[in-house]
A and B are shown apart, each in its own frame.
Chain A
C-alpha cells in the first residue's frame, strides 16, 4: 500500500492536477474518436487481427479490474489469474455441461468471482503491501493445481481441459464469428469501463481512494475500512471473472496451463505499463502484453525473453508512469499548439 502512495501519485500529481476531475478517464473528444476507430476497425482487417484485438480488450478488462483494486483502493494482487481462471471455467462448464447461452455465463461468472474475491478479501484485510501480494501469489500458484483435482475432473476435464463451442452471430447477421465476438466483447468492455469510471467517481470510489491515500485519516472520516477493502477485492475479482469468461469463449478452450502465475504477472505488468490508477491505460497495457512478446520473438527466437525484458526496461525507464504519462505529454503538447 505504502509503495503505491510513494511511487505513483507522488510524482504524477503535479502534472495531473490540471485535469484533476477527469484524471482517471480520457477527454470526451478523445473517447469518441477511440470508440469510432474501434467500431469501424474490423471492417478493414483480417479475422486474425480482429481476434488479437478481441484478446487485447479481454486482457484490458482484467487489467482494468486490477487497476480498480490497486489504483483505486491501494491493495496489491498477484492472484488475478486465479479469478480469471474461475471465470473462464465457470463459463466453459456452463456452456459445455449446462448448455447455458454464452452471454448469460458472463454475469454468472462475474457473480461467482465476486463472491470468491469478497471472501478472499477478509483474510487479506489483515495483510498489506508486500504481504498481501504474497498471499494473492499463493492463490495464483495454487489455482492450476486445484483445477486438476480428481474430484471435479468430471466437470473441469482435468489436465485435458475443456473445449468450448464458439458462438455464431445471432439473428442471422452476415458477419463472421470473430467479428461478432469482437463487437460483443467491445460492448461488454464499454459497459464495464463506464461502470468503473462511475464507480471511482462515486461516494464508494472516493472512499476507496481515501483508504489508498491514508487509511487512518479515512477511518477518522467515518469510512468503513474493512467493508470498502473487501468490496474492492470483490468488484475487482468479479470483473476479472467476466474477462476470464470472455477469454474462454474467444479462445474456445480452457486448461489449467492457460492460467498459470505467468498470467497474473502479465496482468500486473499491463497495469504498470498502462499507468497505475489510470483506467484507459489498462487497454494500452493489455496491448503491450499481447503484442510486445510477438515483437520480441520477431527479433530473436532464442532470446525472446531477454528482448522482452529489454523492451520493458526501456518503457519503464523512459515513461515510468506508463501510457498515462504519454497521454499527459501529448495533451500538454496539443494545448501548447492551440495557444501559440
Chain B
C-alpha cells in the first residue's frame, strides 16, 4: 500500500508539473535545421588524410565521446548525430565539405573544424549563413572577434596569450633581461611573436636578437649559434616539436644556458624533451592548460581517471600519450555542456548565446583552477595558463594561474 500510495503521489505530482509546464515547454521548444525532438546533428571537418592527418585522431576521439554520451541517454533526451568529413587540410575541400554539411546534411552547427587555413576558408561563409562555427581547433587569435564574426568561436588558449604570459613573467622576474627569440616563419610563429611584442609593450627593446626559420630548413643549428653570440640571457623558443628538439639539443652541445621559454605546442615530454635529452632540458619553462596523461601527479586525479576509463572503454584504439585526444575530450565536454544549457531551445542563435555565456566551467582534463569563461564580447573560452618548469623527467607546475585575454 505505501508503495502504491507513493507512486500515486509521484504520478500526480508529475501530472501537475507537466500540466504546469507543458504550455511553457511547448512554447520553448524551438528548433533550427539539424535539431529535432530526438536528434542533434553536429558537423565536423578533419584532415583524416593528407599532410596534417596526425590530427585526425581528434575527430575520432570526439566521435567516440559523443557515442558514449548517446549510450548514456544523450543530451536532454536527444541523441547526437556526429557527421565528420575529411578535407585533407586543403581549403577548397573544406569549403566543399562545409557546404555539404550545412546545405545537404543540414547540421545545426559545425564544431571543432581543424586548422587555420581551412577555417579561414569557411569563416565568411559560416557567418553569412549564420551557422555557428564553434570551438575551432586552431590557436589563431582572429577567432575571437565577436563584433565582425559573431558566429565563430575558438576554444584553446590562443598563441598570443601564451607569449603574453611569458612577457608578463619576464617583466616581473627579470626586468633587465636580454631576450633572444627564434620563431617559425608562418602564421603560428608570427602570432606568437606578436603576443610577445604586445606583452612587452614599451619594453620591446629588451629583445636584442630575432631569428626566423622556415620549416623547409633541415636544421636550425646556425640560428642557435647566432643567437648565442648575441649575448642574450633569455631565449624564447617558438617552434614545432621537431625544431624545438633540435634547438634544445644544439644549446646543450654549445653550452648555452639562458632562461629558456618553450612554447606549449612543443611541451611534449615524449616527442620533444626526451629525444632532445633530459640533461639538456632541465630548467626549461613552458605553460600548460591541460593535464598531461604521462605525468604521474594526476594518477589519482578524478578527471584523469575518468578520461583514462573513457579511453579504455570507448576509444580503445586511442593512444594514451597522445595529447590530441586530451584536447578532443576537453572540447567535446565543453560542447556537451553548451548543448545541455540550451535545453529545448536548439536554435543557432541560442547555441551561440549559450556558448558565449559559459561561467567558470572546468572540464575534467583542464588543470585545476583553469576556468572556461566567455561573454558576448569575449569569444576566447580558455585564456588562462599556468607556468611549469622541467625537472628530472617531468614538468612541475609553479606559480599562479595567469590570464591574458586577446582579441583578433
Please report A residues at the B interface, Cβ cutoff 8 Å: 46-49, 51-52, 55, 145, 148, 150, 158-161, 163, 247, 251-253, 255-258, 260, 262-263, 290, 293, 297, 301-302, 304-305
A-B contact count (CB 8 A): 90
Residues on A with C-beta less than 8 A from B99 are 47-48, 51
- Least CB distance from A28 to B in Å reads 34
- Evaluate contact between B96 and A304: CB separation under 8 angstroms: no
Chain A residue nearest in CB terms to B122: A253
Indicate whether B74 reaches chain A with its CB closer than 8 angstroms: no
B106-152: which residues lie under 8 A (CB-CB) from chain A? Answer: 116-118, 120-121, 123-125
Partner among B49, B60, B88, B116 whose Cβ is within 8 Å of the Cβ of A160: B116
Q: Is B91 an interface residue (CB 8 A)?
A: yes
List, sorted by A's number, 6 A–B pairs whose CB atoms are closer than 8 Å.
Answer: A148-B185, A160-B116, A160-B120, A251-B91, A258-B90, A262-B50
A251 partner residues in chain B, CB cutoff 8 A: 91-92, 95, 121
By a CB distance below 8 angstroms, the chain A residues around B123 are 163
Chain B nearest Cβ from A146, distance in angstroms: 12
Beyond A160-B120, A251-B95, A258-B90, 11 additional pairs, beta carbon < 8 A: A51-B96, A158-B190, A159-B116, A160-B187, A161-B120, A251-B121, A255-B117, A257-B118, A293-B86, A297-B48, A301-B84
Q: Does B242 contact A (CB under 8 A)?
A: no
Given contacts A48-B104, A252-B95, contact A304 B124 (CB under 8 A): no
Give a binary string over B293-337; 1 marks a CB under 8 Å from any A CB, 0 the rest.
000000000000000000000000000000000000000000000
Question: What chain A residues lie within 8 Å of B84 (beta carbons)?
Answer: 301
Choose one: B92, B116, B186; the contact of A247 (CB below 8 Å). Answer: B92
Closest to A158 in B: B187
Question: Smallest CB-CB separation from B187: which chain A residue?
Answer: A159
Q: A51-B96, A160-B120, A297-B48 are in contact. Are A257 and B91 (CB under 8 A)?
A: yes
Closest A residue by C-beta to B86 = A297
Are A252 and B124 in contact, with the CB atoms below 8 A? yes
Q: Bound complex: CA of A252 vs CA of B120, how far in Å?
A: 10
Rounded to whole Å, the gap between the CB of A71 and the closest CB of chain B is 25
Q: Which residues of B contact A255 (CB under 8 A)?
A: 91, 117, 120-121
The one of A252, A257, A302, A305 that contacts B117, using a Cβ cutoff of 8 Å: A257
Would you list which residues of chain B between 199 and 230 have a CB under 8 Å from chain A? Answer: 214, 216
Cα A159 to Cα B56 with chains together (Å): 22
Bound together, the chains give a CA A256 to CA B102 distance in angstroms of 25
Query: Taking the nearest CB of chain A, how far is it from the CB of B142, in angstroms?
Result: 8
- Residue numbers in A under 8 Å from B88 (CB-CB): 262, 293
Question: Roughly how many angstroms separate A224 CA and B23 CA in the complex, as a whole number?
Answer: 85
Q: B49 contacts which of A46, A161, A252, A304 (Cβ < 8 Å)? A: A304
- Decide: A262 near B48, CB < 8 A? Known: A159-B186, A252-B95, A301-B84: no
Interface: B103 (CB within 8 A): yes
Residue among B90, B96, B120, B124 making CB contact with A262, cutoff 8 Å: B90
A161–B116 alpha-carbon span in the complex (Å): 10
**CB pair B48 A163 closer than 8 Å:** no
Q: A161 and B48: CB pair below 8 A?
A: no
Pick the contact of A252 from B125, B185, B186 — CB < 8 Å? Answer: B125
The 4 A-B residue pairs with the shortest CB-CB distance in the complex, in nearest-first order: A48-B103, A253-B121, A159-B187, A257-B117
Q: Does B340 contact A (CB under 8 A)?
A: no
Q: Would A302 and B48 count as touching, CB distance under 8 A?
A: yes
B50, B100, B116, B120 — most chain A CB neighbours (10 Å): B120
User: Are the C-beta atoms of A148 and B104 separated by less than 8 Å?
Assistant: no
B117 neighbours in A (Cβ, 8 Å):
159-161, 255-258
Task: Give CA–CA (A297, B83) in the complex, Å.
Answer: 12
CA distance in complex: A290, B88 (Å): 13
